[in-house]
């Protein structure tokens, strides 16, 4: 069934592409896929949650390599699948309204068809994300992980006419997939150490030792890049170039949680066993929470406030799951659910504001709570949940987190608690900044220019956000609604866990006091808003993640350019010299290391004709070297080749002889064609270093090839394959000519590779010559004689040629 559901996503994507002329309606078609997943989850959820069952399926993937794709749905997977499909369904419904009335985010000329592509990519993402959270095979997990990166790339770059969007998309792809490559390396090492590709089996009996530690750190690189942790976080604000439904779905509720998901899976097994795990993961998480919160306070774009707040909250989650113990994991799951609910809501609200007011800049928004009253209520409820105010889901999750750390009580936990309290105070401040920025009546001092007018939003537009906000309230007021699922998910992560149910009210205790501290701290930050902003302006901003990314890219470019300048000098004699030198030195080294080679017993000749052919070849060779005229030299070279043809024929190799004959002829003809462009005579060399080197190299090549030919026949140690080929040629390949049978059958795959190289070479010739011609200065471009006013700038010309 899981497989079928994954297939449904693919089918929906294909359908959306086929029906792309229908524009917005394809979004509703695509909504069917997550709806189907929700319906199926409803049937299996009781078994998974109450009886801790797992749904397992095995799909033969590449059976000949022993690869099977294990799908496994446990309670945590079910929770993630619920989020992916639930939020997905709402986002599709929301996008249907979002793209109504003017293609605000249309990518180009054909907004309607662009929407079909958008819907297809989005539903493909939903399928990939679902696959990610139900994969048990580590390789399958990696594949789905990369699929989410690629669909994210396409969705961020949806407005592909915008250079900014393209750069942001590329950055997201490069950062996340670089981390994913490290993660793949870690997976491979772990799987080899554990002897299985099944994640459940690896985690049940985690490998230990230095190699395992390195592998786990590699996996963490994937986790940190995907979940936008410091110092890799800068791609996430850039990803806000995507249309808002994408930001709500991928970059807050689901995709960025993939790293959190993996950390949650791995932590119980590796947090204690791997020495570096806890300091690295918890440290990175807490620092990310603080950096994200600090940066969110200086943003003016609603979506950027949310992006940095997402970074901050992801840090919170990573830190909680990073501990790997039962109570913190339990709190982590609760916060994960709460965050998905409120953050998706907030993004949807930001999109509505953007859509109805035409801007997301809080310096141009004022008094929107009048026009957008229901939206403002929804947004403020979600922001309150984010700030951790009672009685909302965010509060319940944060209380659970604080109490787990208070209970632990060791110095590490206290330090982490201090970080999280400070981070939560920042959270309160930026939650307020969002609400105030989007909806409040603002004094002149806080505005830049006239406030933008806004229209009321239709019910269908804000209803999805309303549903999510209502869930935030419901899970806060009655935590028993989602507590069983959170408990079961914790038990699925930490074996043998029996956490206490979530509760809204624990009595007057330290966690509640800490909540009070965070709210007070947040309010202080809010009240001192202007002073905080001024302080942030004055403080030197530390070298950011974006600068690091740009420096890495330009460094790579410089490295590539320098390498190419050294390796590709552009001189044919140098290339040829290097090739020949390697051809002599590498095998000769092997010769020297093996000791003096045994010479095969050489006969003088089998027939007088062979003597004649060799004599002819020698004479022609001498003539080629002695000749002063290019044409004569080419003819003499050809004569050498034809003499070799005669030798092959005399040895009884008609196929070889024939091929050599044709190649020789073809080579001669091509030479003749080229010769008319070359000087008639060779240069007269003086004795110089270059000349000496050439002669030395030529002699070395000749001597080496002779020795090689004499010894190669004696070097055979096992029976040759030729007898077997001869015996099998007719019965198995239906051919009498064993040479051709080897080419097209026994070694047919080699031939396939070779002809592919030929075809690529053909395309390469066309592309290179085309590029040279387009880049050629004016007057040299064939076929456009007498075109006036062209300078040396070929790119201008090619641009015009392309436009025609």
Partner 1 sequence: MTAQGDDRWGDPRGDFDGEGTESPPSLILDVCTRAVFHAAVVFAVWLLAAGHNRPGGGFVGGLTISAALVLTYASGGSPALRGVLPVRPLTFLGVGMLTAQATAVIPMLLGRNVLESAAVTLHAPLFGDVKVATPLFFDIGVLLIVIGLVAKALDTLGAADPTAEHETPTVSGEIVSGGRRR
Q: Is residue 766 near partner 1 by the rule CB under 8 A?
A: yes
Instruction: Using the minimum distance from each CB to partner 1, give the nearer residue, 557 or 784.
Output: 784
Between residues 585 and 662, which has the closer beta carbon with respect to partner 1?
662
Using the contact rule CB under 8 A, the part of the chain among 43-51, 362-370, 605-613, 762-770 near partner 1 is 762-770
For partner 1, the closer CB: 558 or 576: 576
Q: Which of 459/766 has CB closer to partner 1?
A: 766
Tokens of residue 151, six digits: 């669909």
By CB under 8 A, is residue 547 in contact with partner 1?
no
Rounded to the nearest whole angstrom, what is the least distance from the CB of residue 653 to partner 1 in the complex?
A: 9
Among 669, 695, 699, 721, binds partner 1 (CB under 8 A): 669
Residues comprising the chain, all counted = 804
> Where does this chain touch partner 1 (CB under 8 A) — which range of 98-106, 229-237, 277-285, 657-665?
657-665
- What is the 3-state secondary structure of 36-96? HHHHHHHHHHHHHHHCCCCEEEEEEEEHHHCEEEEEEECHHHHHHHHHHHHHHHHHHHHHH
Q: What residues between 427 and 446 interact with partner 1 by CB under 8 A?
A: none
Residue number with CB closer to partner 1 (161 or 801): 801
Q: Distance between CA atoms of 130 and 41, rounded to whole angstroms?
A: 12
CB closer to partner 1, 529 vs 773? 773
Stretch 568-627 residues interacting with partner 1 (CB under 8 A): 570-573
Q: What's the min distance (Å) between Cβ of 741 and partner 1?
A: 7
Rg (CA), the chain: 35
Helix (H) or strand (E) holding 410: none
In the complex with partner 1, which residue's Cβ is closer, 279 or 762?
762
Sequence-distant (6+) residues with CB within 8 A of 94 are 245, 248, 348, 351, 461, 464, 465
Residue 665 interacting with partner 1 (CB under 8 A): yes
Nearer to partner 1, 501 or 764 (CB): 764
* 792 lies in the binding site for partner 1 (CB under 8 A): no
Closest separation in Å from C-beta 149 to partner 1: 29
- Residues 126/85, Cβ–Cβ less than 8 Å: yes
215 and 186 Cβ atoms separated by less than 8 Å: yes
Tell the smallest beta-carbon distance from residue 43 to partner 1 (Å): 36
Interface region with partner 1, contact rule CB under 8 A, candidates 313-321, 507-515, 616-624, 663-671: 663-671
Buried b (16+ CB within 10 A) or exposed e, 601-630: eeeeeeeeebeebeebbeebbebbeebeeb
Q: Which is nearer to partner 1, 161 or 758 (CB)?
A: 758
The contact mask relative to partner 1 for 676-715 (x = CB under 8 A, - = no) is xxxxxx-xxx----x-------------------------
Cβ–Cβ < 8 Å for 134, 31: no
Residue of 210, 566, 593, 673 interacting with partner 1 (CB under 8 A): 673
Of 585 and 759, the one with the shorter C-beta distance to partner 1 is 759
Tell me the three state secondary structure of residue 753: helix
Percent of the chain as helix, strand, coil, to the nearest 5: 75, 5, 25
- Sign (positive or negative) of CA dihedral 459, 462, 467, 470: negative
Using CB under 8 A, which of 650, 708, 751, 790 touches partner 1? 751
Q: CB of 459: closest distance to partner 1 in angstroms?
A: 52
The least CB distance from residue 272 to partner 1, in Å, is: 48
**Neighbour-count burial for 497-520, b at 16+ CB within 10 Å, e otherwise:** bebeebebeeeeeebbebbeebbe
Nearest approach, Cβ of residue 572 and partner 1 (Å): 6
HEC secondary structure over 524-550: HHHHCHHHHHHHHHHCCCCCCHHHHHH
Q: How far apart are CA 217 and CA 33, in angstroms?
A: 36
**Which CB, 237 or 641, lies closer to partner 1?**
641
Tell me the closest approach of the beta carbon of residue 785 to partner 1, in angstroms. 8
Partner residues linked to 109 by β-bridges: none
Q: Indicate which single residue of 62, 759, 787, 792 sits in contact with partner 1 (rule: CB under 8 A).
A: 759
672 binds partner 1 (CB under 8 A): yes
What is the three-class DSSP state of 681?
strand
Rounded to whole angstroms, the Cα distance separating 385 from 397 reads 10
* Smallest distance, partner 1 to C-beta of residue 666, A: 5
Number of shown-chain residues binding partner 1 (CB under 8 A): 60
Could you write out the three-class secondary structure of 200-234? HHHHHCCCCCHHHHHHHHHHHHHHHHHCCCCCCCC
Smallest distance, partner 1 to C-beta of residue 678, A:
6
Q: Which has the closest alpha carbon to 475: 336, 587, 651?
A: 336
Pick the closer one to partner 1 by CB: 204 or 662: 662
769 binds partner 1 (CB under 8 A): yes
CA dist 541 to 292, 304, 306, 427, 535, Å? 13, 17, 20, 20, 11
| Residue of the chain from 780, 787, 793, 796 that contacts partner 1 (CB under 8 A) | 780
Among 663, 709, 715, 726, binds partner 1 (CB under 8 A): 663
How many whole angstroms separate alpha carbon 319 and alpha carbon 423?
12
Q: What residues from 723 to 742 belong to the interface with partner 1 (CB under 8 A)?
A: 732-737, 739-741
| In the complex, least distance from residue 566 CB atom to partner 1, rounded to whole angstroms | 17
- The least distance separating partner 1 from the CB of residue 606, rounded to whole angstroms, comes to 20
Among 418, 565, 765, 799, the residue binding partner 1 under the rule CB under 8 A is 765
Q: Minimum Å distance from CB 724 to partner 1?
A: 17
Q: Which of 605, 622, 763, 799 binds partner 1 (CB under 8 A)?
A: 763
Q: How far is the CB of 611 from partner 1 (least distance, A)?
A: 25
Start-end of H helices in 157-299:
163-194, 199-204, 210-226, 235-238, 244-248, 257-270, 277-296
Q: Which one of 442-450, 604-612, 705-713, 774-782 is the stretch in contact with partner 1 (CB under 8 A)?
A: 774-782
Nearer to partner 1, 102 or 679 (CB): 679
User: Looking at 212-220, 459-467, 582-590, 757-765, which segment touches partner 1 (CB under 8 A)?
Assistant: 757-765
- What is the Cα–Cα distance from 71 to 200, expressed in whole angstroms? 11
Instruction: Check: CB of residue 614 under 8 Å from CB of residue 648.
Output: no
Give yes or no for a contact between 593 and 587, defined as CB atoms under 8 angstroms apart.
no
What is the closest distance, in whole angstroms, from the C-beta atom of residue 642 to partner 1 in the complex? Answer: 14
Whole-number Å distance between alpha carbons of 320 and 284: 11
Residue 786 C-beta: closest distance to partner 1, Å: 12
Q: Do you find a cis peptide bond into 419, omega within 30 degrees of 0? A: no
Per the CB < 8 A criterion, the answer to whether 468 and 382 are in contact is: yes
Task: Give min distance, CB of 576 to partner 1, in A.
Answer: 10
Nearer to partner 1, 430 or 648 (CB): 648
- Contact flag: residue 62 with partner 1 (CB under 8 A): no
CA distance 298 to 293: 9
d(Cα 347, Cα 260) in Å, to the nearest integer?
Answer: 20
Residues near partner 1, by CB under 8 A: 570-573, 654-655, 658-659, 662-663, 665-666, 669-670, 672-673, 676-681, 683-685, 690, 732-737, 739-741, 743-745, 748-749, 751-752, 755-756, 758-759, 761-763, 765-766, 769-770, 772-773, 776, 780, 782-783, 801
């Amino acid at each position: 069934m899981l497989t079928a559901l994954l297939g449904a996503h693919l089918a929906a994507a294909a359908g959306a592409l086929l029906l792309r002329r229908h524009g917005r309606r394809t979004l509703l078609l695509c909504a069917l896929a997550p709806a189907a997943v929700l319906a199926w989850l409803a049937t299996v959820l009781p078994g998974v949650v109450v009886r801790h069952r797992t749904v397992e399926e095995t799909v033969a993937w590449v059976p000949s390599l022993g690869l099977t794709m294990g799908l496994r749905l446990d309670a945590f997977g079910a929770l993630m699948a619920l989020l992916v499909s639930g939020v997905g369904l709402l986002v599709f419904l929301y996008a249907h309204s979002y793209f109504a009335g003017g293609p605000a985010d249309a990518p180009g000329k054909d907004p309607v068809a662009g929407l079909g592509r958008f819907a297809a990519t989005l539903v493909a993402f939903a399928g990939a994300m679902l696959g990610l959270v139900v994969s048990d095979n580590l390789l399958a997990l990696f594949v789905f992980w990369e699929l989410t990166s690629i669909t994210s790339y396409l969705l961020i770059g949806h407005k592909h006419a915008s250079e900014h969007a393209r750069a942001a998309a590329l950055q997201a792809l490069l950062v996340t997939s670089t981390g994913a490559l490290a993660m793949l390396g870690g997976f491979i090492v772990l799987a080899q150490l554990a002897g299985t590709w099944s994640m459940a089996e690896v985690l049940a009996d985690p490998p230990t030792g230095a190699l395992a530690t390195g592998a786990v750190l590699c996996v963490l690189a994937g986790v940190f890049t995907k979940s936008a942790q410091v110092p890799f976080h800068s791609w996430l604000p850039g990803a806000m170039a995507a249309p808002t439904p994408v930001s709500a779905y991928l970059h807050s509720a689901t995709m960025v949680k993939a790293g959190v998901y993996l950390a949650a899976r791995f932590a119980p097994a590796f947090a204690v066993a791997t020495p570096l795990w806890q300091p690295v993961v918890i440290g990175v998480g807490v620092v990310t929470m603080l950096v994200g919160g600090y940066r969110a306070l200086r943003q003016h774009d609603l979506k950027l406030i949310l992006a940095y707040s997402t970074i901050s909250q992801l840090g919170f989650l990573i830190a909680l799951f990073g501990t790997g113990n039962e109570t913190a994991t339990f709190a982590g799951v609760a916060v994960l659910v709460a965050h998905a609910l409120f953050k998706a809501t907030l993004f949807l609200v930001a999109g509505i504001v953007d859509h109805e007011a035409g801007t997301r800049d809080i310096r141009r928004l004022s008094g929107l709570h009048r026009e957008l009253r229901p939206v403002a209520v929804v947004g403020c409820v979600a922001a309150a949940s984010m700030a951790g105010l009672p009685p909302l889901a965010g509060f319940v999750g944060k209380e659970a987190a604080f109490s787990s750390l208070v209970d632990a009580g060791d110095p590490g936990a206290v330090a982490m608690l201090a970080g999280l309290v400070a981070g939560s105070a920042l959270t309160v401040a930026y939650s307020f900044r969002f609400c105030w920025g989007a909806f409040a009546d603002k004094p002149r001092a806080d505005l830049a220019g006239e406030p933008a007018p806004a229209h009321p939003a239709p019910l269908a537009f804000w209803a999805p956000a309303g549903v999510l906000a209502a869930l935030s309230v419901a899970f806060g007021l009655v935590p028993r609604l989602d507590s069983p699922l959170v408990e079961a998910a914790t038990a699925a992560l930490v074996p043998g866990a029996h956490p206490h149910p979530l509760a809204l009210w624990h009595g007057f205790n330290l966690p509640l006091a800490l909540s009070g501290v965070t709210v007070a701290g947040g309010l202080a930050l809010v009240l001192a808003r202007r002073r905080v902003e001024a302080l942030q302006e004055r403080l030197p901003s530390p070298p950011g993640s974006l600068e690091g990314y740009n420096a890495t890219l330009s460094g790579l470019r410089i490295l590539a350019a320098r390498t190419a300048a050294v390796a590709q000098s552009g001189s044919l004699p140098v290339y040829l010299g290097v090739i020949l030198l390697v051809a002599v030195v590498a095998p000769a080294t092997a010769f020297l290391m093996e000791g003096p080679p045994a010479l095969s017993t050489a006969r003088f000749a089998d027939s007088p004709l062979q003597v004649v052919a060799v004599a002819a070849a020698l004479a022609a060779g001498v003539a080629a070297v002695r000749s002063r005229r290019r044409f004569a030299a080419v003819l003499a070279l050809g004569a050498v080749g034809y003499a070799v043809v005669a030798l092959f024929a005399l040895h009884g190799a008609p196929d070889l002889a024939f091929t050599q004959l044709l190649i020789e002829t073809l080579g001669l003809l091509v030479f003749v064609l080229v010769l008319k462009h070359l000087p008639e005579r060779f240069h007269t060399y003086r004795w110089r270093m270059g000349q000496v080197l050439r002669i030395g190299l030529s002699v070395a090549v000749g001597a080496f090839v002779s020795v090689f030919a004499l010894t190669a026949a004696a070097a055979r140690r096992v029976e040759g394959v030729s007898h077997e080929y001869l015996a099998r040629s007719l019965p198995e390949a239906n051919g009498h000519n064993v040479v051709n049978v080897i080419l097209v059958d026994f070694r047919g795959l080699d031939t396939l590779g070779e002809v592919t190289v030929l075809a690529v070479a053909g395309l390469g010739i066309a592309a290179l010559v085309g590029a040279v011609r387009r880049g050629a200065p004016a007057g040299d471009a064939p076929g456009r004689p007498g075109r006036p006013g062209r300078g040396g700038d070929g790119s201008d010309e090619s641009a015009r040629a392309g436009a025609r």
